[in-house]
Chains A and B, each alone.
Chain A
Amino acid sequence: DIQMTQSPSSLSASVGDRVTITCRASETISDYLNWYQQKPGKAPKLLIYAASTLQSGVPSRFSGSGSGTDFTLTINSLQPEDFASYYCQQSYRTLYTFGQGTKLQIK
């Protein structure tokens, strides 16, 4: 199976900050990489698919980049509603796997 490793596991930031979350695959996955946001007690929500395509309705302060094994999720000008957990997920192989998650907390 392809292993997905996110860093950091947790992150403290303030409203208005720019943050970056990294996801690394154990083998090359081209751009077969998605990002999800999850708030406490809620189902995950798709943010970005195919590494850099913003899902409809997602604010433009979210962006994704990368290809191969290294990917980033960037959030510009953090808003209060952005404090949540974020997960990457690969779809290069049909044994789909998630990263362990990054919890974004208010500083």
Chain B
Amino acid sequence: QVQLVQSGAEVKRPGASVKVSCKASGYAFSTYGIAWVRQAPGQGLEWMGWISPYNGNTRYAQSFQGRATMTTDTSTSTVYMELNSLKSDDTAVYYCARLVGADRRWFDPWGQGTLVTVSS
């Protein structure tokens, strides 16, 4: 079955960077984009951006442009999301999700989420 498995929880200091991984299985990896969405404690979903494993093209939400970097490793069917210059309000659960559809697009399935805590 299609599955996305994310790396474990992280605790980082303000100003540091974090790199979260998302390993895909059960489908042709390069065929579907992977999106990243985060959720701060008690808050809603915030779309961060997405990457095409086929050609490495990326698109970032304006609030993450220049601070988030998404990459892929097709040899291991893994997507990475690195976020730099961490601040306390970057504390959140970070989800990856497969981007499905050719024209109308949706996210399915989702990874289990990775909690990133930023604290001094």
Chain A residues near B (Cβ < 8 Å)? 1, 31-32, 34, 36, 38, 43-46, 49-50, 55, 87, 89, 91, 94-101
In the complex, B111 has a CB within 8 A of chain A: yes
Q: Which residues in A have their C-beta under 8 angstroms from that of B112? A: 43
B95 in the interface (beta carbon within 8 A): yes
- Chain A residues near B44: list those with CB within 8 A: 87, 98-101
Within 8 Å by CB of B107, from A89, A97, A99, lies: A89
A55 to B108, CA, bound (A): 10
Q: Say yes or no: B106 contacts A91, CB within 8 Å.
A: yes
Within 8 A of A (CB), among B76-120: 95, 97, 100-101, 104-113
Q: Are B106 and A43 in contact, CB atoms less than 8 angstroms apart? A: no
Q: How far is the CB of A82 from chain B (nearest CB, A)?
A: 19
Q: Which residue in chain B gives the minimum CB-CB distance to A92?
A: B104
Please state if A45 and B110 are interface contacts (CB–CB under 8 Å).
yes
Say if the beta carbon of B61 comes within 8 Å of chain A: yes
Q: How far is the CA of A46 from the CA of B104 in the complex (A)?
A: 14
Are A98 and B46 CB-contacts (below 8 A) given A43-B95, A46-B107, A91-B101?
yes
Partner of A43, one of B47, B50, B113: B113
Least Cβ–Cβ distance between A50 and chain B, in angstroms: 4
Instruction: Specify which chain A residues have a CB less than 8 angstroms from the CB of B45 in the assembled complex.
Output: 36, 38, 44, 87, 89, 98, 101
17 additional A-B residue pairs with CB within 8 Å, beyond A49-B101, A49-B106, A87-B44: A31-B104, A32-B104, A43-B111, A44-B37, A46-B107, A49-B100, A49-B104, A50-B101, A50-B104, A89-B107, A91-B101, A91-B105, A94-B59, A97-B47, A98-B44, A100-B44, A101-B44
